[in-house]
Structure 1
Amino acid sequence: MPPEDVYTYFDIFDYIVFAAMLIVSSLIGVYFAFFAKVKQDTTSEYLMGGKTMGIFPISMSLIASYISGISVLGIPAEMYTYGSQFWMVLASEALVSLTMAYCYLPVFYKLQITSSYEYLNLRFNQTVRLLGSVLFLTKMMLYIPIVIYVPALAFSQVTGINLHLITPAVCIVCIFYTTLGGLKAVVWTDTVQTVMMFAALIAVVFMGIDSVGGLSEVWRRNEAGDRLEFFNFNWDPTIRHTFWTVSIGNYFSWLASCSINQAMVQRCLAMPTLKSARITVAILVIGITALVSMCCYIGLVIYAYYYKCDPITRGSIHKSDQLLPYFVMHIASSMPGLPGLFVSGVFSAALSSMSTGLNSMTGVIFEDLIKPRMKKPLTEAQASFLMKVIVVIIGSICVALVFVVEKMGALIQATGSLSAITAGPLLGIFSLGMFFPNANAKGALIGGLVSGSLVGWISVGTQMKMAQGVIKFPQKFVSIEGCNANWVAEYLSLTLAAEVTERPEEAVFGLYRLSYMYYTMVGAVTAIVVGFVVSLLTGGGGKRIHRDLLSPVVHGFLKPESAAEDDKDIVMTDNLM
């Protein structure tokens, strides 16, 4: 049985491990800024790594970028609270990688653009490009503070150090190495941090299994606690998680995160060949599958450990997001350095997401917002300096926003649905351009705006109803029968004495009950349908488009214009085979 309220803080070994992670990350930035053979003083080197990056570091960087501290802490909490159905998000991972590698990535690679949103200008116009850039920057400015806040909260929990002290300190290290070393520093620090993340999770898995009594005991307790649910084939779209909602919904969410995301495109284009970029994507899927599976299984281990004394009900912790740090301090506090390794792993996930975000946002701001408006071109030295200034500015803004996030607890729970407000429209606009030759700029612009408005309305409306207690999701049963007898008696007397008032049933607008997993899909489909219809109504056909702007999957349906030999790669949008 797990001990009750036996909670220790970091010792000297834990602080040494955590400090070592920060020092190594900083030294990598210093190396690439001052000691590497090729300095980070050109746009190509700073944003694209000179397009000479290897498969291994890029793969590790992508894995680290897409597994944030929110995932490391939130997925185990999901398993503990709602059961294992979410684990089936992995069912769509392979399909996402194939779609990206053969439908989207070849377009970006053929064009060799620095910002993925340059595509929108080439395919449509500057206004659509600006819309895409603003949507991306908005998403990242909301996402990065949350990514930092969640692990900082965990660190504060296991060290006792004030959250307001650790957050700026760690973020300054991240801004430091991202500013100095550019993409190469980000990629190689991500690689180190990914290794630490894997090591931390593997250690927690094995120690957790041993503390419970073996694999079979973990499975038995979760089966008895009704946590094991993988194949709920109910098609009802209002159920929070079923096999269909997590697999279909995750397909669109991950497609938006991977195929058109600036961070992903920027790293894939840093590879020397398209083949190596595709190999990188395959390794990414394997790494994500391994990490998500470990996080899911840790959630089952945590439930097995506390299955007769829920720490949230008894007040040892206040939120499910705190379960994993609390669990680690129970099982690993006797092993010097292991809690430090765990927190380093969680923070590594956060720092990699932050550094990737800063680097990719810098690319978008410079290439999409500043460069097109410069009256005369900047020198490479001026451009490099300007990009470093941009990193410092947006990094500082993100640190300041962490303290805003702290006051907005509901925002953390709503991260997934709020991100769909921008992810859905962006996926729809890019897909409209790559797969629908008849689409035009008016259609893309109106489709994107209508899509963002619709998903925003659904997402914000749902969160308001949840905050009011009108919409609730059934949680799995937890037990306190194994807790201290005196505490249980006190809890029961307080519960019986309390006046229980049931909120009357209230009718809720149908779309507010839609599973949040479908939000990105709704946004993408809306942008495509509205954009295509508007394009047709505004004379979408007849425009000359270069074949490279269309996905390879539609090339077989188009004929080249036969007016001149020089136009063999030009297709007419109304000239379908």
Structure 2
Amino acid sequence: MDPSQQKHFAVVDYVIFAVLLAASVAIGLYHALTGGRQRTTREFLMADRSMGCLPVSLSLIASFQSAVAIIGVPAEIYSNGTQYWFLGCAYILGLLIPAHVFIPVLYRLQLSSAYQYLELRFSKPVRVCGTLTFIFQMVIYMGVCVYTPAFALNAVTGFELWAAVLATGLVCTVYTTMGGLKAVIWTDVFQTLVMFAGQLAVIVVGVQQSGGLSEVWRKVQDGDRIAGLDLNPDPTERHTFWTLAVGGVFLMLSLYGVNQAQVQRYLSARSEKEAVRSCYMVFPSLQLALALSCVMGLVMFARYCGEDHHTSFLATSKKDAVVIFFVMDMLQGLPGLPGLFIACLFSAALSTISSALNSLATVTMEDLIKPYFPTMTESRATYLSKALAMSYGLLCLAMSYLTHLMGDSVLQVALKIFGMVGGPILGVFCLGLFFPCANSTGALAGLGTGLAVIFWVGLGSIVTRSSGSTPLPSSCVANRLAGNSTVILQAVYSNVTLSRPSGLKRFYSLSYMWYSGFSCSAVILMGLIVSFLTGPLKEEDVTPGTVYPLMGKLLCFLPEHLKKKLCCVTPLGQTISACQRQPPHQKENNGEAFHRNEELDSCLPEEVSLPLVEQETFV
């Protein structure tokens, strides 16, 4: 960036940024020195299962609302209009299904890691594969979340890049290692409030400097930034109502249904009722966060439309940095407000990274270490959990450096990988929850197939650059030509026809919003085929409480004897004892007796569900 175009922080901006980091460390220190002082894995990894629904819900929002979203959504609206806003429609089913399906099943099993479910339902190899897939996903995403805001801040203000990276990574590592999940959740609460305050300040000042609400509305309308309801069913269209509202449901399920970072928050709630309420409370907050980001993008367009930016920073830089430039440009004469937005941006980064660190430490401890060292003492396990959190924090810094070396396109690549990995994991959970006949071999085959197919599509789109979009014109003047309408329509149709990809390139053009749904479907389809070929399980062979009676609820109007023939009708609220958890008569596809791993009983209580009366309220 030309030094003459760079914006600068005032002293008060640096103070606000430093206060954010200091407050986060202070919260971690407080939880390290109070309560049980993080001396047990139950307290360090699960917050003693004592959290209320309000902090849990705010933490769920903060984990999802990453720095990439804070600066990525306004840039998307600025370039392509408000079509992305329809993603909010996906939040309805994307939160209702986890609240009424995933939370009841996982909470009643009283697990620490979501992937323990995969061993209870299938086998240890499926659990290990699920854990390793999740670790791969989160390690890559952590590097992106640290590097993206630091790069954007450096590009606009000249703020030292690696100072920002190190400050973010080290502060996260310190308070997550000291204070455990309690510190992560309460810092998320604080950081969520900072996020909303920062975005709101930018919008208010931006509207004022753009001439008021009516002027902003006129400019965005004339600039074609207000999108209509696009019902084009073509799955290769990047953003339509169907890709966002339907494809987005699968993305939401992969995040709020089976992602360890979110599941761990449900499991930290003091009761199942509190966990379900926290999921409900996320909905209005997510809608507010999406609305603020979209309005910010519209205000940014109204502020700069009609100006000549061919040689300016807005034309030559990446989208991520454009949003920071807009904020610094508007708030330059208001000391403290630029610092507030940067604090908002880094709050999003801190919350996402701390959630990742804690969840990675949990799955590594519970899925990869404890099963092989069942006699490990509680104090040693807690110490090792803290060491794991610190190690993942250092790995996060290494990944951010790797992101820097890979160049500009790595951010898009890493975000696609994040979407590609979540879908297959969701598919394995759905296979276990909704299909009692699915066996371990089918689950492994389905997971492998889902990952292979979606990585083929994703990497193909990166190589052929098939997933990009053409930004709308940046003029404030309405894009309505007064010439012959027939000629205009013919030209548009000709352009669409010529630009439509064919063959494999069309396959690679699948919208990234369908990645989770496509890979989830591939896992379920292949899993069922292989399960039937290798010997499907019977209802009595499945560990009680690990199957959600979906068909039984959908076919509730049928007589009981017909439902028993057609589907699994075992009530979800059945009490599960340790002896029931590992049925000795279960058979694998080779006909030999298959016995569940016995270590699981050592980390689960004898009774792992709530009383039937209370559970039925949520089923």
Asked if TM exceeds 0.5, the reply is yes
Deviations 1:231-285 (A, max 9, x none): 1111111111111111111110111111001011110011111111111011112
Counterparts of residues 14-413 of structure 1 (less than 5 Å)? 14-34=13-33, 36-309=34-307, 311=309, 314-316=312-314, 317-374=316-373, 376-408=374-406, 409-413=408-412
Structure 1 residues 31 and 239, CA gap change in structure 2 (3 angstroms) = same
2 CA distance for matches of 1:99 and 1:170?
34
Task: Output the CA distance in 2 between the equivalents of 1:237 and 1:134.
Answer: 30
Q: Which residue type is aligned with residue 359 of structure 1?
A: N
Partner of 1:486: none
Q: Paired residue for 2:531? A: 535
| Structure 2 counterparts to residues 495-514 of structure 1, below 5 A | 507=502, 509=504, 510-514=506-510
Give 1:206 shift.
0.8
1:553 and 2:553 equivalent? Answer: no
Distance 1:549 1:300 in 2: 46
Secondary structure of the corresponding residue to residue 474 of structure 2: coil
Aligned position for 2:518: 522
Identify the residue that residue 500 of structure 1 maps to in structure 2.
none
Contact 1:91-1:247 within 8 A present in 2 as well:
yes
Partner of 2:563: none
Q: Which runs of 5+ in 2 are unaligned?
A: 478-497, 554-566, 588-619
Equivalent position SS for 1:269: helix
Quick one: distance in 2 between partners of 1:269 and 1:548? 16
The question of whether the paired residues in 2 share the 8 Å contact of 1:129 and 1:368 is answered with yes
Q: Distance in 2 between matches of 1:471 and 1:54?
A: 42
Equivalent residue letter for 1:233: L
Task: Give the deviation of 1:511 after TM superposition.
Answer: 1.1
Runs (4+) of structure 1 exceeding 6 A deviation are: 503-506, 565-574
| Mapped contact 1:312–1:319 kept (Cα < 8 A) | no
Change (3 A) 1:480 1:63: closer
For 1:304 and 1:112, how far apart are their aligned partners in 2? Answer: 51
State the Cα distance separating 1:170 from its structure 2 match: 2.2
Paired amino acid for 2:358: N
2:10 aligned partner = 11
Structure 1 pair 505–87 and aligned structure 2 pair: CA distance change class (3 A): closer
Q: Which moved more, 1:165-174 or 1:150-159?
A: 150-159
1:310–1:199 distance in 2 versus 1, CA, 3 Å: farther
Is the 8 Å Cα contact of residues 87 and 230 (structure 1) preserved in structure 2? no
Write the distance in 2 (CA, Å) between the matches of 1:92 and 1:33.
38
For the residue of structure 2 that corresponds to 1:459, the secondary structure is helix
Moved more, 504-513 or 165-174: 504-513
Deviation per CA, 1:294-315, whole angstroms, max 9, x where unpaired? 0011001100100012647634
SS of the aligned residue for 1:233 comes to coil
- Kept in 1, the 8 Å contact 2:542–2:586? The answer is yes
Instruction: Report the 3-state secondary structure (helix = DSSP H, G, I; strand = E; otherwise coil) of the residue aligned with 1:548.
Output: coil
CA–CA distance in 2 between the matches of 1:377 and 1:64? 36
Matched with 1:497 is none
Distance 2:457 2:402 in 1: 24
Question: What secondary structure does 2:246 align onto?
Answer: helix
SS at match of 1:180: helix
Partner of 2:611 in structure 1?
A: none
CA contact (8 A) 1:62 1:264 kept: yes
CA distance in 1, matches of 2:345, 2:163: 18
CA distance in 1, matches of 2:500, 2:202: 43
1:465-491 C-alpha deviation (Å, 9 max, x unpaired):
11xxx665222012499xxxxxxxxxx
Name the count of aligned residue pairs.
542
Give the match for residue 492 of structure 1.
none
For residues 580 and 32 of structure 2, the distance between their equivalents in structure 1, rounded to whole angstroms, comes to 45
Q: Counterpart amino acid of 1:448?
A: L
1:540 partner amino acid: P
Distance 1:504 1:63 in 2: 39
Name the CA distance, whole Å, in 2 between partners of 1:559 and 1:97.
25
Distance 2:221 2:357 in 1: 43
Q: Distance in 2 between matches of 1:170 and 1:418?
A: 23
Classify the secondary structure of the residue corresponding to 2:182: helix
Query: What CA distance in whole angstroms lies between the structure 2 residues aligned with 1:570 and 1:319?
Result: 54
Q: In structure 1, what residue type is equivalent to 2:64?
A: Y
- Matching residue's letter, 1:558: C
- 1:125-182 Cα deviation digits (max 9, x unpaired): 0100011001100000110110111111232234422212221122111100000000
| 1:33-78 residue CA offsets vs partner (Å, 9 max, x unmatched) | 12x1322110110011001112221111111110000000000010
Change (3 A) 1:74 1:360: same
Q: How far is the alpha carbon of 1:325 from its aligned partner?
A: 1.1
Q: 1:539 to 1:166 in 2, by over 3 A?
A: same
Question: How far apart, CA to CA, are the structure 2 residues paired with 1:573 and 1:449?
Answer: 24
Residues 160 and 103 of structure 1: is their aligned pair in 2 closer, same or farther, counting only changes over 3 Å?
Answer: same
Alpha-carbon shift at residue 352 of structure 1 (Å) = 0.3
The CA deviation at 1:414 is 3.1
Partner of 1:446: 445
Contact 1:121 1:129 in 2 (8 A): yes
> d(CA) in 1 for partners of 2:344 and 2:310?
24
Q: Check conservation: 1:88, 1:230, Cα contact below 8 A.
A: no
Return 132-141 or 52-61, whichever deviates more.
Answer: 52-61
**1:416/1:516 contact within 8 Å kept:** no
SS class of match (1:547) = coil
Inter-CA distance 102–570: structure 2 relative to 1 (3 Å threshold): farther
* Alpha carbons 1:240, 1:515 under 8 Å: kept: yes
- Letter of the 2:434 counterpart: F
Greater shift after overlay, 223-232 or 525-534?
223-232
1:559 deviates by 4.8
- Give the CA deviation at 1:402: 0.4
Counterpart of 2:463 in structure 1 is: 464
Aligned-partner Cα distance in 2 for 1:407–1:569: 48
Give the Cα–Cα distance (whole angstroms) in 2 for the partners of residues 192 and 156 of structure 1. 25
**Overall identity of the aligned pairs, in %:** 37
**Distance in 2, Cα, partners of 1:65 & 1:45:** 20
Specify the code of the residue in structure 2 equivalent to 1:452: L
Verify the 8 A CA contact 1:310 1:479 in the aligned structure 2. Answer: no
Inter-partner Cα distance in structure 1 for 2:421 and 2:468 = 25
Residues 418 and 337 (structure 1 numbering): CA distance in 2 closer, same or farther, change over 3 Å?
same
Deviates more, 1:53-62 or 1:507-516: 507-516
